[in-house]
Amino acid sequence: MKSNIKKTLALVFTLIILCLTLLSACSESKESNVLGDAGKSAKEVAGSGQVNVRLYKYEVGVTDKPAQTELFVFGKDKLESDTLNVLNEVFSSDELSLLNATIDWDNKCITADLPPKVATLLETNKRLADTLTHEFVVTLQNIPGIEKVVLTVQGKKDSVGKYHDFKGTFVKTGEITFKKDIEK
């Protein structure tokens, strides 16, 4: 009787190992497919009729590099005709949203209007305000064709609060870096 139990346990253990191996292989294959477009240039993606929009998520207080990124793929036409809903789909993954978003393709600039919920979060503390600013700016500046980001709060341009300062334009200097350009 004991040998039957040992054989059964060995068989169950072998099946579990086999299942985990198969799941791991499928997961790696899926990640390769999702990230396969990430290496494409903006021109390659734009030429295919699809646009990659990557959400950059940061840990509170750590803005030198994102803790995680999440890739979304949309039709280029949808991004151009339904910008707000596309971006809200991206930001909803992190329970954030925008009130409005408009893209000026000629100037390579996007203006994004932040809602009251985000305005309240920006006034919570400096570390959270910096984290949210990075999440919005870096995500928006990495939409193919965008190099500048203007953030407004409830329709107010050049918003300044206790812990945030959105005067001017955020200008892309690298994939996850930017500078502020304040027009005088």
Q: Per-residue pLDDT tens for 46-63?
A: 456 999 999 999 999 999
CA distances for 113 relative to 22, 27, 31, 117, angstroms: 45, 37, 33, 12
Q: How confident is the model at residue 90 (pLDDT cuts 50, 70, 90)?
A: very high
Comparison of pLDDT for 73 and 41, the residue scoring more? 73
Angle at 151 between CA 37 and CA 85, to 5 degrees: 50
Query: Under a CB-based contact definition with an 8 Å cutoff, are residues 141 and 148 in contact?
Result: yes
Q: How far is CA 105 from CA 130, 154, 159, in A?
A: 27, 23, 23
pLDDT for 178 beyond 50:
yes
Are the C-beta atoms of residues 167 and 160 closer than 8 Å to each other? yes
Closest CA to 37 of 54, 58, 61: 54
125-156 per-position pLDDT tens digit = 999 999 999 999 999 999 999 999 999 999 99
Whether the per-residue pLDDT at 24 is higher than 60: the answer is no
For range 17-43, the mean pLDDT: 46
- 10 Å CB burial of residue 96 (0-12, 13-18, 19+) is buried
Q: What is the pTM of this model?
A: 0.73
Across the chain, what does the average pLDDT equal? 83
Confidence of residue 1 (pLDDT cuts 50, 70, 90): low
* pLDDT (tens digit per residue) in 104-127: 999 999 999 999 999 999 999 999
Is-contact 184 146, C-beta < 8 A? no
DSSP annotation of 48 reads T
Backbone angles phi and psi of 55, in degrees to 5: -85, 125
